[in-house]
Structure 1
Amino acid sequence: MEYNFASRVERMESSIIREILKVTEQPGIISFAGGLPAPEMFPLQEIKQTFNKVLGEGDESALQYSATEGFYPLREYIAAALAEIGINTSPDQVLITNGSQQAIDLVAKLFLDPGDVVLVESPSYLGALQVFNSYQASLVAVPTDPEGIELDSLERAITQYKPKLIYITPTFKNPTGETMGLERRKDLAAILARHHIPLVEDDPYRELRYSGTPVPPIKAFDKDGKVIYLGTFSKTVAPGLRLGFATTSAGLMPKMVLAKQGADLHTGTLVQRVLYNYLTSSNVKGHIKAICKEYAIRRDTMISAMKRQFPEGVKWTEPQGGMFLWVTLPPQLDTTSLLNEAIKLGIAYVPGPAFFPTGGGRNCLRLNFSNSSPDQIETGISRLARLFHNNLQTVEKGTNGF
């Protein structure tokens, strides 16, 4: 049967990461592709006990429809936690969402008409690019450096394109792992105020810091309500709960609530109560500290293995936190073309072009270190090193043959 789809369906594309993950289910494949937390770090027993506690209280309302805004005590908890990092908000300005991914979609629904411009980092988070494309936005990539989006380039893009929205992940950025410095955050907040443009600050990795000094969110310097701040519990508790949040200005929040009402009425009542009880009855800071300790070992193992085994000319980021490293190969190599060969060797990664909305990253790739054991990381990097050495030798022989 043929269907008469809306024109926006043409801009909906499957995530290359999801396609790669299907392949990685094959036996023997070590995957550095997905942005997955380590399942062995999930607080399984605590969550199980909390489910039993919530249901054992005999309060049927835990299974009932509930407010679109979210469970009020959970919103109070989030507002208090945000105050600790410099964000002054109230529970009434917090919306519970089905992961922060839904929050990106809600913002896009509110702000974007077909053809509207969104400024994004180059490279940028693939999931956000998918959302903006589905709303038929025009994506403009702004250059970045090791501290994130370049502010001079951003101001020029604002003047030239008159964007509706800016989207960034300034802390342990997906895909590079890099973090924006303090002064640039302050300067960016001033740019937003000067040009009256909303910015989505997607901050899923903030708590996963292994070294260096924490920096406040851009939202902490937002005096005019221009920053829409997104967070999640997927990286520190469990992604299967699908619980995230957004905090916005008091003026924008009612529209966010209306957008969510039309999408799904509300986030699951039971999982919100379970999360709240877990957060208030467990040693959450100790749990996050344990995650950070383990992920730091995995990050260091990957960097050490790359230093020993990767060929000369290969470069990579060394992030202070998060879940990813960004690798740049010599320009004659194409990471998309190499992927099938990599999978035959039993290793998977995400090619760089997936993160560039308007082209780029041909010789780059993203590696995830959080979801592989140190032994798997050693083996996987060895396989990648073999792939890179072999293909560089092939290219050099071809060049010398002319």
Structure 2
Amino acid sequence: MSDSSAVRFADRLNNVETSAIRELFKLLGKPGIISFAGGFPDAAMFDVDGIRQASLAALEQEPGAALQYGATEGYQPLREQLAEFMGSKGAQVLPEQLLVTTGSQQALDLLGKTLISPGDKVIVEGPTFLATIQCFRLYGAQLITAPIDGHGVDVQRLEQLIVEHRPKFVYLIPTFGNPSGAMLSLERRHQVLEMAVRHDTLIVEDDPYGDLYFGEAPPPSLLALSDQVPGSRQRLVHCGSLSKVLSPGLRVGWMIAPPELLAKAVMCKQFSDAHTSTFAQATAAQYLKAGRMPGTLQRVRQVYAQRAQAMVEALRSELGEAVSFVAPQGGLFVWARLTGAGGRLADGNELARRAIEHGVAFVPGAPFFARDPDVSTFRLSFATVGEDRIREGVGRLAKALQG
């Protein structure tokens, strides 16, 4: 098709643009670069033996079910294992209340399909997960931003925005958010659930990082706490994922939602991919059944905690007052702000460009804001870099900041 004008794209594509992060990755081919840019787990942490055994068990025990088409709602043994997994974290869930999705990313897409009409208002955190911004905009959402601090979303401001805008729903990452790393306090979690009931507002809780805590476990999820706030459970959607704790390549996530919303999501998923890979689901089910997850989580928590500590110490010693940040208590990220102290650079985009020249990469913060971006912010991931390389990389960042 030589005449490009023959391709007439959908109007919805006018609402989105190529991810700034994906554009940045094109610059990372430079030899010897230390990358703090990725938002993914360390492949060296994958329990390859456990996953191998689980996949063999899936083929040996139920080869027909593992290799055949399956129910759109999900492979029943996996739904049962995931309900048990959620129960171990204090959230009482029946298998039939849970839809298995192709990563929690698909859960967000299904929410866009089932809930968002063009022009609908949706409240997200500022900053929030970049793919969420792109996904909801694709369906025509008008995004409203609720500010956050080191303890998560500002609940007073969030309530004002709910009253003012009457959104279709509110999207939050309460535990070690991407990119902020912030953890919503227990008190604020109760307040969010109470305002959901008070204003009859749907809350979407995205929780891909909640198991990656470094010291004490975080407060229970909104889903687990919903039992304590009458009426909140039916105004709550919970999205979970095995991507950050087991393997992103399995593409296993799940969505827990009120029955009528779950039914619509199942219908839309049917049109989209029929079902999540049954082989991946059977493998995940066997893995969870084998009881290896607690040991795997213990290992990755320990490694990520040490790397986070190395990054925090390096930032304090190498950059000092030039940056401000809250030390993460879990997750994969440090979210930092350039202070401009001593007349130094305060633009994250410019620092990202300079940093590449000095052999280190990170993601500037502006793309993570649906509106009114704070250009002094940036995101550093410590997950895939060893402690010595973290110290070296932060040293390079300090040189880039100096000019």
Correspondence 1:171 to 2:175: yes
Correspondence 1:159 to 2:163: yes
Instruction: Please show how residues 129-208 of structure 1 align to structure 2 within 5 Å.
Output: 129-208=133-212
2:26 alignment partner, SS class: helix
1:109 alignment partner, SS class: helix
Task: Report the equivalent of 1:99.
Answer: 103
Instruction: Please show how residues 2-401 of structure 1 align to structure 2 within 5 Å.
Output: 2=5, 3-57=7-61, 59-222=63-226, 223-224=230-231, 225-331=234-340, 333-390=346-403
Cα distance, 1:88 vs structure 2: 2.2
Give the Cα separation in 1 of the matches to 2:359 and 2:185: 37
1:221 alignment partner, SS class: helix
TM-score (norm 2): 0.94
1:317-374 per-position Cα deviation (integer Å, ceiling 9, x unaligned): 2011000001111245211122222111111111010111112221110000111111
Cα distance, 1:289 vs structure 2: 0.1
- Say how many residue pairs are matched: 390
Does the 8 Å contact 1:176/1:317 carry over to 2?
no
Give the Cα separation in 2 of the matches to 1:63 and 1:212: 40
- Segment of structure 1 superposing worse, 249-258 or 179-188: 249-258
Give the Cα separation in 2 of the matches to 1:313 and 1:63: 55
Does the 8 Å contact 1:46/1:282 carry over to 2?
no
TM-score (norm 1): 0.94
Cα distance, 1:213 vs structure 2: 4.1
1:193-222 per-position Cα deviation (integer Å, ceiling 9, x unaligned): 111111110001110010234211112233
Cα distance, 1:86 vs structure 2: 2.6
Give the Cα separation in 2 of the matches to 1:121 and 1:107: 17
2:321 alignment partner, SS class: coil
Does the 8 Å contact 1:197/1:226 carry over to 2?
yes
Give the Cα separation in 1 of the matches to 2:119 and 2:299: 45
Give me the CA root mean square deviation.
1.4
Give the Cα separation in 1 of the matches to 2:356 and 2:213: 31
1:337 alignment partner, SS class: helix
Cα distance, 1:57 vs structure 2: 4.0
Give the Cα separation in 2 of the matches to 1:236 and 1:135: 29
Q: Which runs of 5+ in 1 are unaligned?
A: 391-402
Give the Cα separation in 1 of the matches to 2:206 and 2:213: 16
Cα distance, 1:70 vs structure 2: 0.4
Give the Cα separation in 1 of the matches to 2:156 and 2:402: 38
Give the Cα separation in 1 of the matches to 2:278 and 2:71: 9
Give the Cα separation in 1 of the matches to 2:30 and 2:287: 35
Give the Cα separation in 1 of the matches to 2:53 and 2:371: 47
Cα distance, 1:268 vs structure 2: 0.4
Does the 8 Å contact 2:114/2:261 carry over to 1?
no
Cα distance, 1:164 vs structure 2: 0.5
Tell me the amino acid that sits aligned with residue 211 of structure 1. Answer: G
Does the 8 Å contact 2:50/2:292 carry over to 1?
no
Tell me the amino acid that sits aligned with residue 198 of structure 1. Answer: L
Judged with a 3 Å threshold, the aligned counterparts in structure 2 of structure 1 residues 153 and 318 are, in CA distance, closer, same or farther, namely same
Judged with a 3 Å threshold, the aligned counterparts in structure 2 of structure 1 residues 95 and 46 are, in CA distance, closer, same or farther, namely same
Give the Cα separation in 1 of the matches to 2:360 and 2:19: 19
Segments of 4+ moved more than 4 angstroms: none
Q: Which runs of 5+ in 2 are unaligned?
A: none
Tell me the amino acid that sits aligned with residue 216 of structure 1. Answer: P
Tell me the amino acid that sits aligned with residue 276 of structure 1. Answer: A
- Segment of structure 1 superposing worse, 253-262 or 18-27: 18-27
1:257 alignment partner, SS class: helix
Give the Cα separation in 1 of the matches to 2:238 and 2:293: 22
Does the 8 Å contact 2:114/2:268 carry over to 1?
yes
